[in-house]
Structure 1
Amino acid sequence: MQTRRTELAVRRRVCGLSQESLAAVLEVDRTTVARWEAGISAPLPWVRPKLAEALGVTADELSDLLDEIPASAPDSRTEVGTGMSGSGLIATAAPWALDRGPTLVESTAGDPAFDRRDFLVLSAGTAVGIAHDWLAVDPTLAVAGGEAPAAVLADAPQIDQVEHFHRLRLALIESDNLHGARSVIPLTEQSIERIGQLRRVGIGEPTATQRMRILYAEFAAWLHQDRRAWERAQHWTDRALTWSHQLGDDYSIAAILIRKAHIANDHGDGNEAVELAEAAGRAAPPGTRLGAVAAAFAGHGAALAGNRATSERAFDRARDLAEDADTDPSYGFFLDQSYIDVHQAHGRVALGDHRVAADQFGQAISGMRSGFTRDQAVYAARQAVAYAKAGEVEPAAQLGRTAMEVGVSTGSERILTHVRALHGIFDPGTAQTEVAAFRDAGKRWAVLAS
């Protein structure tokens, strides 16, 4: 059963606020405030600082006001808060977090070190099922692109469109993690168009819908990045950056520039990555973890450009910034020693420090939390390349085959690109058992040329 947040409503009245006046302060709909107090949903984390200020309470006191709903209540939905990477949701602006990659994945409110599987384990089929059920019960979405959507949407004021897209995005993020980008891309891009349609007809609070559109665009860029579809990834980061500038939101601007730097690194353009990462660092609000992530990508980019000293300094800065940054459940919960290590190890491969890189990859992978199977496979494939370049064929082939299985399952080109590179490193004439098994698997799954 649902439990009304009586104390939340009482506190609002003590402050002399009606639901309408509080909604105006927070730039949300009145029905959203009503749903919070009814225990139907909880505030998105980017709203919480303003809500605490409006009610004259601390963040912890606000958490107490919102925690009346029993955890077992099936109808209570905390709006936890990609990656995309994204990206709880950004407490001060837009919701970001990088899928250990990055993509904007939201963290659970109050637990910045959560495992994504703890809040939602949904397959790609389930995500599509949610969308299908949504369209069946919510005609506002089904007709949003029709001849006269505004009138129909106006007939459903009880629908919180931002919450709908928030929940769908969580399912899509988990589907991507479990099954890969291919099946998630169409619904993600369709959702961006739907959100745009809602904005054009004036449905929903404009700032909140714009932030959600930025989230989806960054996530779409991440999906195309995983597929190594560079033009489409660039398209969506460009759109997300434009929309972030329209909001004047430095947090979102920094996060999108970081995504662009990550894409540049994956594309092998170290100089471009450094410039983008440095721009992200300048845009990042003080005290956030954005600066630390930007420094890590600058370090990787510098290594790709062959600048060892600059790379080392950037990674040192990333660690310092990560240690000094405020707790930020909205962005950077994934940022730990392992995250920085994998990017430094990848840079060390580019610098020719193959054995050191292989060891660093191994330490980082062993330190990763569970639930990131595809990302672990990406790093394992890179570790395999490092081993092969160091002349250690057997562990390279073993790791490569394991990573290949995940790459085939998810369609991740971030994995398969390194698997093919590994194949090119091996001596064609070797009869080593593990290499033969690696090649047989690659031919069976049509990953490697015959």
Structure 2
Amino acid sequence: MDAMEDAAVRLGIELPSRSSLKTQVSMFENGRREPGPEYQALFCEVYEATRMELGLAVEFAPSQLEALPTLPIPSATSPTANPAILDYLRSVFLQHVQAEPLVGPRFLVPAVQSQMPLIEELCKDASGPLRDEVVRVGARYAELLGWLHQDTGDSKSAMLWTNRALDYASELDDPALSAYVFHRRSNIAAEAGQAGYAVGLANAALKEARKLPHQVRAVALRARANSYALLGQADDCARALDEARVLADEAPDDGASLAPYCSVSYIDMEAANCALQLQRPEQAVKTLEASLTRWPAEQQRDRGLCLARLATAYAQLEDVEGAYNAASEAAAIAQATGSARIFAELGRLQPLLQPWRKLVEISELNRLLGSMRGS
């Protein structure tokens, strides 16, 4: 009784006399009456427990928070561009880029997209050099958002946001940024099966090739090579890859590049993919096996893609055990990161394993991939 009366004072609830209260509690204990909302709130306060924990009827239990007043929301003016806000956006962008290879696109799409309304507001009134910086930030965020959608398998949204990035980049006198976004558009088109369009976009990226930093020029050449491989043009593909390797090898390691991931190892992995497209699995296996021995730990998602491509190469060579081992590891990374690109590569593998579908290992792999497709 004492505890209930103390709680009633804190909650602003008026209780009957002590004798009446004792009668009420007795009726609750004997199951002859259910506590109403006020008594439920009292018991929760006394026992420091939730209604669910006390077994009280939830239909009589609106949240105590519902009785709290709603605080007034003051009207606010739109934010204006300033160096502090730009530093914040750049810092958050860098964190997204660092997290992306590890966690994959699913959890980052909402976080990155949530920054776009702020960037668009900043663009409305920004002028002079400050506007250039806002637009540049907008281009980087939109391009990253396009990439994240591409890795989820949503080519339409990927191209939409990458086109938005090109809109931003076109306002700036920055050939490198425009070329990088054109190369990204080429990648999306190639993965969507539009190889001819992809070649055209790669050529647009390389239109002012001599003005481009080495790594940007290298990734654009890689996009061109990939498109040529899809078209079956092996010689043109090889020339583009050779030039890309030289540029990647000569690129300064100053941390300022738009494509810091573009190393010789990266070009080699992409060359292996071209070899698969050109039906040259021996070449692909040799390159991919070597790449995996020196793969950076932070590039987990791309490691999964490399493994999936290696599994396809093994299958083309009828190395069933190698294909199974590589595909199983790639599937685990696909599940962890949500990368549709890894899963698409594993989909290319499955028809190649059909002759061995009755083997226990291959049957288990097909079942796993089927469950992933269903999810």
Which of 366, 385, 392 is the aligned partner of 2:293? 366
Tell me the distance in 2 between the aligned counterparts of 1:377 and 1:208: 35
Tell me the distance in 2 between the aligned counterparts of 1:432 and 1:359: 26
Structure showing the higher helix proportion among its residues? 2
Other-structure match for 1:188 = 112
* CA offsets 1:29-74 (integer angstroms, 9 cap, x no match): xxxxxxxxxxxxxxxxxxxxxxxxxxxxxxxxxxxxxxxxxxxxxx
Point out the structure with max Rg over C-alpha: 2
Other-structure match for 2:245 = 319
Which of 319, 334, 341 is the aligned partner of 2:261? 334
Change (3 A) 1:237 1:147: farther
Q: Report the more deviating stretch, 197-206 or 239-248.
A: 197-206
Matches within 5 A, 1:121-200: 149-150=77-78, 153=79, 160-200=84-124
Deviation at 1:172?
A: 2.1
Counterpart contact for 2:202–2:220, Cα < 8 Å: yes
Which of 305, 308, 327 is the aligned partner of 1:378? 305
Change (3 A) 1:328 1:258: farther
**What is the number of residues matched between the two proteins?**
300
Other-structure match for 2:3 = none
Which of 120, 144, 161 is the aligned partner of 1:219? 144
Other-structure match for 1:267 = 192
Counterpart contact for 2:214–2:250, Cα < 8 Å: no
Amino acid corresponding to residue 353 of structure 2 in structure 1 = F
Deviation at 1:320?
A: 2.3
Tell me the distance in 1 between the aligned counterparts of 2:103 and 2:213: 35
SS at match of 1:289: helix
Amino acid corresponding to residue 380 of structure 1 in structure 2 = L
Which of 220, 230, 235 is the aligned partner of 1:294? 220
Change (3 A) 1:429 1:230: same
Amino acid corresponding to residue 247 of structure 2 in structure 1 = L
Is residue 392 of structure 1 aligned with residue 319 of structure 2?
Answer: yes
Which of 342, 354, 364 is the aligned partner of 1:437? 364
Tell me the distance in 2 between the aligned counterparts of 1:428 and 1:184: 39
Tell me the distance in 1 between the aligned counterparts of 2:212 and 2:341: 32
Counterpart contact for 1:377–1:415, Cα < 8 Å: yes
Percent of counterpart pairs with the same letter?
Answer: 27
Structure 1: which 5+ runs fail to align? 1-142
Other-structure match for 1:306 = 232
Counterpart contact for 1:388–1:396, Cα < 8 Å: yes
Other-structure match for 1:35 = none
Q: TM-score, normalised by structure 2?
A: 0.74
Change (3 A) 1:202 1:449: closer
Tell me the distance in 1 between the aligned counterparts of 2:355 and 2:249: 46
Deviation at 1:428?
A: 6.1
Change (3 A) 1:323 1:429: closer
Tell me the distance in 2 between the aligned counterparts of 1:194 and 1:388: 48
Amino acid corresponding to residue 196 of structure 2 in structure 1 = N
Deviation at 1:290?
A: 1.4
Deviation at 1:148?
A: 5.0
Counterpart contact for 2:183–2:201, Cα < 8 Å: yes
Tell me the distance in 2 between the aligned counterparts of 1:311 and 1:251: 23
Other-structure match for 2:8 = none
Change (3 A) 1:342 1:389: same
Other-structure match for 1:140 = none
Deviation at 1:248?
A: 2.2
Other-structure match for 1:137 = none
Structure 2: which 5+ runs fail to align? 1-72
Other-structure match for 2:206 = 281
Counterpart contact for 1:345–1:357, Cα < 8 Å: yes
Q: TM-score, normalised by structure 1?
A: 0.62
Change (3 A) 1:355 1:424: same
Other-structure match for 2:280 = 353
Counterpart contact for 2:249–2:263, Cα < 8 Å: no
Q: Report the more deviating stretch, 196-205 or 226-235.
A: 196-205
Q: Report the more deviating stretch, 367-376 or 299-308.
A: 367-376
Counterpart contact for 1:297–1:343, Cα < 8 Å: no
RMSD: 2.5
Tell me the distance in 2 between the aligned counterparts of 1:247 and 1:367: 37
Tell me the distance in 1 between the aligned counterparts of 2:155 and 2:98: 22
Tell me the distance in 1 between the aligned counterparts of 2:181 and 2:203: 12
Where do 4+ consecutive residues of structure 1 move more than 6 Å? none
